[in-house]
Structure 1
Amino acid sequence: MNNLMSDGFGLMLLGMGFVFTFLCLLIVSTTYMSKLINRYFPEAAPVAKKPMAAPTAGASSASASATDPKIAAAITAAIHQHRNR
């Protein structure tokens, strides 16, 4: 019985050692690959969007940003129907 326990303990340590070694190797290789990719293929700088042009003198700012009246009516009807359930 003593021999079986020592063999089991040895296999457990051997298996855990392999898993620990593999995980350490995986962390090191992932870190290295990440640094390699960032060095040779840097992320492009974000392009600043141009500000939107001001509405023309004939259009009001409220009507320029408002949604279509048909869509607003459909949304209102859907909310009303949902609340009445």
Structure 2
Amino acid sequence: MQAGIIDQGLELMLYGMGTVVVFLALLVLATTVMSRLVERYFPEPEPELPAPRKAAALAADPAADPQLVAVISAAIHQHRNRR
């Protein structure tokens, strides 16, 4: 009697786990296919590059941006006051 119940339990466990594994494999496959379809038919637009003069000016002299200087100064001031 006990062996039959254990056999049924193992059989039920294997069917259940097999069903979950098959479902998850199909889910991964469907997600991969949908991702490739979206990438193929709806590509993301290329990001716009910043204006060359402004980027070059900021790269050459970061102090040229007064807002950046103010943010850095405030951060340093706050850091020193916490000590």
**TM-score of the aligned structures, taking structure 2 as reference length:** 0.70
Structure 1 counterpart of 2:33: 32
1:29–1:53 CA distance, 2 compared to 1 (3 A) = closer
1:81–1:23 CA distance, 2 compared to 1 (3 A) = same
Unaligned runs of 5+ in 1: 56-60
SS of structure 2 residue aligned to 1:44 = coil
Number of matched residues? 75
Structure 2 counterpart of 1:43: 44
Q: With a CA cutoff of 8 Å and minimum separation of 6, indicate the structure with the bigger relative contact order.
A: 1
Q: 2-side partners of 1:16 and 1:36: how far apart?
A: 30
Displacement of 1:63: 6.3
Structure 1 counterpart of 2:79: 79
Structure 2 counterpart of 1:3: 4
CA RMSD, 1 decimal: 2.8
Displacement of 1:54: 8.0
1:48–1:81 CA distance, 2 compared to 1 (3 A) = closer
Q: 1-side partners of 2:55 and 2:74: how far apart?
A: 29
Q: 2-side partners of 1:15 and 1:53: how far apart?
A: 59
1:11–1:54 CA distance, 2 compared to 1 (3 A) = closer
**TM-score of the aligned structures, taking structure 1 as reference length:** 0.69
Unaligned runs of 5+ in 2: none
Q: Which has the higher helix share?
A: 2
Runs (4+) of structure 1 exceeding 6 A deviation are: none
1:26–1:64 CA distance, 2 compared to 1 (3 A) = same
